[in-house]
Amino acid sequence: STIGAYGKTNAYYLRQYENWQKFGGEVSLWRYSARFDNYFVPSDSISSMQSVYRAAAKYSADNFADQGVSGTTVAANFNALKIYLKSKLAKNVNEDIDTLLKNFCNAYYGAAGEKMYAFLLAEQAWLKTLSEKVKEDTGADKTGCHIICNSDLFNAKYWDDTPSGVLIKKYDASMLKGWYSDYIEAALDLVAENSEYAKRIRIEGIAVRYMIYAVYNDDSYGDFSRIAADAKLLGITRFAEGNSFTNTESYERDGTIDNLS
């Protein structure tokens, strides 16, 4: 879950997979489509998903596991979308991804489909920018790749979209708060308040609210206690597969939603 979705990192692992194939025998491929140690931290496993499935098909992987969220049937960070994409790509690795994304959003979020699709694209674009920012600051590792560490994901610098060259006195949550108002709240305005569509949108909003507080200690959209309570009402029972990595702790507490606060 700490590997970036872009650039040389995935290419490096593809080369290793190709090399292992040369030895013959049984070769397995295993990836994560969810950030296993904190489901509330945005994670873009969608951008690289099709290329991974194509590689598995091309090299006839004996076993292919694409592990997502476990321990909870409800999760944020477009978990339902990822499950949908996996089911489609498992049958046809050459599906048109953008068409799948649009079809899913329109069906899953109803009248708010276009707004949630726009949110997905905005999040993907920023995660790619974040990846480049980390690379600029930390450089490449010995493989020629760059690794995004968990601690980077709670660094206020990397969630501030102030343009380069503009003097920054203090990093703030304006971009994340903009995501919530421009996409989540705007999407909620397009659907019935107590509808299943609204519930699904609020589930995605949980992750944005979490980051606003975890990274910036800004409780405009709730502190951990309130976010945890709202998450439970939406059916979320865990925010990590096992012990969690958070803004203050490294794998010290079990990821049950009650431990978020």
242, part of any domain: no
Amino acid 152: pLDDT: 86
- Which residues, in sequence order, are CB contacts of 165 under 8 Å at separation 6+? none
222, part of any domain: yes
Only one residue has tokens 């491929």, namely 29
257, part of any domain: no
CB 238 within 8 A of CB 250: no
User: What's at 15, amino acid-wise?
Assistant: R
252, part of any domain: no
Amino acid 2: pLDDT: 32
* Tokens standing for residue 118: 């726009």
2, part of any domain: no
Residue 2's alpha-carbon distances to 29, 43, 61, 246, 259, in angstroms, are 17, 9, 23, 13, 22
The packing angle between helices 79-91 and 49-58, to 10°, is: 30
What pTM was computed for the model?
0.91
Neighbouring C-alpha atoms within 13 Å toward the C-beta of 178: 12
1, part of any domain: no
CA atoms of 117 and 101, how far apart (whole Å): 7
- Domain containing 52 equals 8-237
CA atoms of 186 and 179, how far apart (whole Å): 10
CB 160 within 8 A of CB 171: yes
Only one residue has tokens 């949908």, namely 84
Report the number of distinct structural domains present in the chain.
1
251, part of any domain: no
**Could you read off the pLDDT tens digit of each residue along the chain, which spans 261 residues?**
333 445 556 677 778 888 887 887 887 888 889 999 999 999 899 998 998 899 889 888 888 899 999 999 999 999 999 999 999 999 999 999 999 999 999 999 999 999 999 999 999 999 988 888 888 887 766 665 556 678 889 999 999 998 877 777 889 999 999 999 999 999 999 999 999 999 999 999 999 999 999 999 999 999 999 999 999 999 999 999 999 999 888 888 999 999 997
From the number of C-beta atoms within 10 Å of its C-beta (0-12, 13-18, 19+), residue 87 rates as exposed
Amino acid 7: pLDDT: 53
71, part of any domain: yes
The helix or strand, by DSSP H or E, that contains position 30, with its residue range, turns out to be strand 28-32
